[in-house]
Amino acid sequence: MNRIELIIATAIVLFIAFLMGWFTHWVIHRFVRVGDADMSDLDTMAQQLHEAEEQRDQAVTYYQQREAEMSNQQTQTEAELRAAMEGLREARHEAEELRAYIDRKAAE
């Protein structure tokens, strides 16, 4: 076998391999192809997924706002509680002073 015959034989083998690969690709593509009904279903599912993501984002935003409102309300309630406790403490102190004053006046 001389050089030309080797080149021709190699070219034929490569061409046959190319044809077999192309045919295999065509057969696989033919059986795996997505039909129009399936594409319609995929489009519907994609739209539903998009709507679900939007609803999730809206819910997350709502809960973040609600959490901020509740946190603010809790802070205000705690501030009111501290003020009430301070007022109660002052009232008790004042009541003790008045009792002491009354006891002193009663003892005189």
List the structure tokens of 52: 């679900």
Comparing 1 with 14, the larger pLDDT belongs to 14
Q: How far is CA 70 from CA 6, 73, 76, 77, in A?
A: 84, 5, 10, 10
Quick check: 42 and 34 in contact, CB under 8 A?
Answer: yes
- pLDDT tens, position by position, 41-74: 889 999 999 999 999 999 999 999 999 999 999 9
Q: Average pLDDT in the 76-81 region? A: 96
With a cut of 90, say whether residue 83 has pLDDT above it: yes
With a cut of 90, say whether residue 85 has pLDDT above it: yes
Rounded Cα gap, residues 79 and 72, in angstroms: 11
Which single residue is written with the structure tokens 């501290």?
Answer: 82
- pLDDT tens, position by position, 32-43: 877 777 788 889
Phi first, then psi: what are they for 34, rounded to 5°? -85, 125
Rounded Cα gap, residues 3 and 7, in angstroms: 6
With a cut of 90, say whether residue 107 has pLDDT above it: no
Rounded Cα gap, residues 74 and 67, in angstroms: 10
- The pTM of this model reads 0.51
